């Protein structure tokens, strides 16, 4: 009989964002959909349950999954979602002890053995990219054989936890099948609240990766735990087909190229832009990309704008050169100013991501960051507090110094208590800095006037008023 695999995005967003949930994006669970696509290619019966997007409770999610009678249940897990993922698996196993449970994603990739030790209801962890691993796993489990021979997994055997040899990242992404988009309902996916300011749309949202990996080595970033270091790209034809499918079959209005650094491969970017224009998608879609300030090229930015790209997001992180160096961000303040200027000249809207509380941060260096954020001409910002995610150098730093770390559920949501990394700034001061950064940036008269002129003034006004109320509620509940 055909085996059934249910892949679940465990509900976590309500827990992470509380009153701010309406402003955050709801992305399709691309990791699970990639796994679904390789399984479908093997003629395995796959269901994807995005219980997070539907905003189900954990208990309802367990009920739904159990009702489907699966042979295997796979879940994706970030550090911040692990407490909920653990609770889902233990409830599921209690109801349904014979099911085989699998976990993939950044958390188990960073801490393979530790994760299985901590969560006894997870049978198998998939480390790094799961596309090849999961197919080999299914084939072997169906035939019956020893799991030891499959690279890139961690599993239980005779009471022990075994981690197999490392699996190298997939060299040739061309061999991966198209994403199984048909397994999700696109009406659930939407971009960030501020995407609405331009054209009034933030949904339906489609996401496309043009490659995997990043050219950076920032020491707070956990991206390499799954994708390794270095970059690989999908063939242009595959990217074009994916965009065509998303627009024509699933009717997306907003497209996010979700690569860590979209602009790194200039030739590919220009070819994608030519395609977007040729198809007329530049008139239909609102497009957003993320980038690094050291990969910016003026003519390419102009071409991107012609091709319908409206937003570019930069990871600026700090306004202090010493802190940028301490982050191994490998960029300069000059490059930041230059990238913002060129993006602005190209007609793009800019969103900057900033961070306070990194190693060696003091009140004064954090003020440099707030000052730079206010000096740069940009349309939206986010201010995060540094978090030591497993697999990063700053996590190792915390372990070496005996810095107390909280439960995984407190690793990440915008409004969990900060984890101070330095004696110079305690949790209270970090919260104060973030609050000050937000009010100094958003309450400037010049910024507000600019926003009402550049964007749909009514959409901006409504959003700001709602955001103000949501933050007020968060503050009352002592989370912001």
Site residues (vs ligand SF4, CB under 6 A): 214, 216-218, 221, 223, 260-261, 292, 315
Under the binding rule (CB under 6 A), the answer on residue 16 touching ligand B12 is yes
Nearest 10 degrees: Cα torsion 316, 322, 325, 326: -100
Place of tokens 């197919």: 135
Under the binding rule (CB under 6 A), the answer on residue 412 touching ligand B12 is yes
Q: Which two structure tokens, joined as six digits, stand for 188?
A: 């659930």
* DSSP, residue by residue, 104-130: ESHHHHHSHHHHHHH-TT--EEE-S--
Least distance from ligand SF4 to the Cβ atom of residue 372, Å = 17
Q: Which of residues 217 and 454 has its CB atom nearest to ligand SF4 in the complex?
A: 217
Q: Which of residues 197 and 234 has its CB atom nearest to ligand B12 in the complex?
A: 234
Q: Rounded CA gap, 315 and 230, in Å?
A: 18
Under the binding rule (CB under 6 A), the answer on residue 354 touching ligand B12 is no
Q: Rounded CA gap, 262 and 305, in Å?
A: 14
Least distance from ligand SF4 to the Cβ atom of residue 70, Å = 34
Q: Is 426 helix (H, G, I), strand (E, B) or coil?
A: coil
Under the binding rule (CB under 6 A), the answer on residue 184 touching ligand B12 is no
Exactly one of 6, 10, 20, 25 binds ligand B12 (CB under 6 A); which one?
25
Q: Which of residues 169 and 308 has its CB atom nearest to ligand B12 in the complex?
A: 169
* The one segment of 124-132, 198-206, 455-463, 470-478 that binds ligand B12 by CB under 6 A: 124-132
Nearest one of 246, 243, 254, 250 to 191, comparing CA atoms: 254
**Is the dihedral angle over the CA atoms 263, 266, 267, 271 positive or is it negative?**
positive
The residues in 75-114 that bind ligand B12, with binding defined as CB under 6 A, are 76, 78-81, 102, 104-107, 110
Q: Which of residues 109 and 305 has its CB atom nearest to ligand B12 in the complex?
A: 109
8 A C-beta contact, residue 151 and residue 167:
yes
Count of residues near ligand B12 by CB under 6 A = 42
Q: Which of residues 147 and 208 has its CB atom nearest to ligand SF4 in the complex?
A: 208
Q: Which of residues 257 and 303 has its CB atom nearest to ligand B12 in the complex?
A: 257
Q: What angle do CA 424, 428, 433 make, to 5 degrees?
A: 75
Other beta carbons within 10 angstroms of residue 414's beta carbon come to 18
Burial class (CB in 10 A: 0-12, 13-18, 19+), 384: middle
Residue 198: CB partners within 8 Å, gap ≥ 6?
286, 310, 311, 349, 455, 456
Q: Which of residues 77 and 308 has its CB atom nearest to ligand B12 in the complex?
A: 77
Q: Rounded CA gap, 423 and 385, in Å?
A: 15
Under the binding rule (CB under 6 A), the answer on residue 30 touching ligand B12 is yes
Which of ligand SF4, ligand B12, none is residue 292 near (CB under 5 to 8 Å by kind)?
ligand SF4
**Site of interaction with ligand B12 (CB under 6 A):** 7, 9, 12-13, 16, 25, 27, 29-32, 34-35, 74, 76, 78-81, 102, 104-107, 110, 126, 129-131, 134, 221-223, 226, 258, 260, 384, 389-390, 412-414
């Amino acid at each position: 009989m055909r085996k059934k695999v249910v892949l679940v995005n465990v509900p976590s967003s309500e827990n992470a964002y509380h009153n701010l949930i309406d402003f955050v994006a709801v992305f399709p669970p691309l990791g699970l959909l990639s796994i679904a696509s390789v399984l479908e290619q093997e003629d395995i019966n796959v269901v994807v349950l995005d219980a997070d997007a539907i905003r189900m409770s954990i208990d309802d999610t367990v009920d739904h999954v159990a009702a489907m009678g699966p042979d295997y249940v796979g879940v994706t897990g970030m550090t911040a979602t692990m407490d909920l993922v653990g609770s889902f698996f233990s409830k599921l196993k209690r109801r349904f002890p014979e099911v085989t449970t699998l976990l993939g994603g950044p958390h188990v990739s960073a801490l393979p053995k530790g994760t299985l030790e901590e969560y006894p209801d997870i049978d198998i962890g998939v480390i790094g990219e799961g596309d090849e691993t999961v197919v080999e796993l299914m084939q072997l489990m169906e035939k019956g054989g020893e799991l030891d021979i499959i690279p890139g997994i961690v599993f239980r055997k005779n009471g022990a936890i075994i981690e197999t040899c490392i699996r190298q990242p997939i060299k040739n992404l061309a061999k991966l099948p198209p994403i199984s988009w048909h397994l999700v309902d696109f009406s659930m996916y939407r971009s960030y609240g501020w995407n609405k300011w331009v054209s009034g749309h933030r949904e339906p949202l489609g996401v496309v990766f043009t490659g995997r990996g990043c050219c950076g080595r920032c020491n707070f970033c956990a991206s390499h735990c799954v994708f390794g270091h270095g970059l690989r790209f999908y063939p242009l034809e595959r990217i074009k087909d994916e965009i065509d499918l998303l627009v024509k079959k699933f009717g997306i209005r907003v497209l996010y190229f979700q690569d860590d650094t979209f602009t790194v491969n200039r030739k590919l970017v220009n070819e994608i832009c030519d395609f977007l224009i040729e198809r007329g998608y530049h008139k239909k879609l609102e497009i957003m990309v993320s980038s690094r300030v050291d990969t910016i090229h003026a003519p390419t930015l102009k071409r991107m704008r012609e091709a319908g790209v409206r937003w570019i997001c930069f990871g600026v992180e700090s306004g202090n050169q010493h802190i940028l160096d301490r982050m191994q961000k490998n960029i300069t303040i000059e490059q930041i100013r230059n990238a913002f200027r060129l993006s602005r000249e190209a007609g793009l809207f800019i969103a900057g991501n900033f961070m306070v509380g990194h190693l060696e941060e003091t009140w004064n260096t954090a003020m440099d960051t707030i000052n730079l954020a206010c000096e740069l001409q940009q349309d939206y910002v986010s201010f995060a507090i540094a978090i030591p995610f497993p697999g990063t150098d700053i996590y190792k730093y915390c372990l070496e110094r005996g810095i107390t770390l909280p439960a995984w559920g407190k690793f990440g949501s915008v409004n969990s208590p900060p984890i101070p990394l330095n004696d110079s700034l305690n949790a209270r001061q970090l919260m104060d800095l973030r609050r000050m950064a937000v009010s100094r940036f958003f309450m400037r008269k010049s910024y507000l006037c600019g926003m009402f002129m550049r964007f749909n003034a009514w959409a901006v006004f409504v959003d700001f008023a709602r955001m103000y109320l949501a933050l007020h509620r968060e503050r009352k509940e002592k989370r912001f």
